[in-house]
Structures are given as structure tokens and as C-alpha cells.
Amino acid sequence: MNVVSVRVHLADGRYFDNRHHGWDMERCRPDGSLIWESLEDVLHSIEYYYTEGNGACDCNKVLDLSRHAGEVDNWEQPCGDTLETVGIIATMSDGRSIVVYDRKSLGS
């Protein structure tokens, strides 16, 4: 079972769906070992990517927003952390939706 898309909600009400990442449970390293041992590991990686990793940077969020809207990529957005992620939902290959991150449930 794999994550087929990730929806990221921002504090300003905008959101984007990202289907470009390979959050594949069977994804392997060059030596053949699995990158993720469990679904929990995959979901933790997704949360990290969009809250602390490269996906958390304003420049990448604006690119994702542009692509989601079918617009030309916006390469003018400087790096920063002003676009706050407030929610992340993963859609699984079996159709289930899993809440990966919810700022409200964290009490912030």
C-alpha cells in the first residue's frame, strides 16, 4: 500500500495536492534495503518534509501552489518560512485518507 497523493493546507486557507513524490512503501536504496520499514515511517517522512524539510520552505510551497493551480512555475518566491503548514492529509492507494499533521490537534 502506498501514498498516492498528499494534500497540504496552509494557514492562509490555500492548499495544494502533491502527487510528484515517491512515497512508495516498496521503494529501495541502491543496496536493495527498504527506505521505510512501516507506514508510520512514511507518514513521519511526509510530515517532516512539509513542516521542517525542503517542502516547508516558502519557495517550494509557492511552486506547489502554482502547479496545483495549473499556472506557470513561480520561481520568484524567495526562501522563507512565512507560509505556515496547518494540515497534511495523505491519500492511500486503497482510497483511505490519513491525517498526517494537524496543527489544531497539537494545541498550537
Q: What is the pLDDT of residues 21-74, one digit of tens each?
A: 667 777 777 887 777 888 898 899 999 999 999 999 999 999 999 999 999 988
Strands 15-18 and 97-102: unpaired
Residue 45 is part of which domain span? 3-106
Q: Are 79 and 58 in contact (CB under 8 A)?
A: yes
The H or E element spanning position 66 is helix 58-68
CA atoms within 13 A on the CB side of 55: 21
- pLDDT greater than 70 at residue 20: no
Instruction: Provide the domain count of the chain.
Output: 1
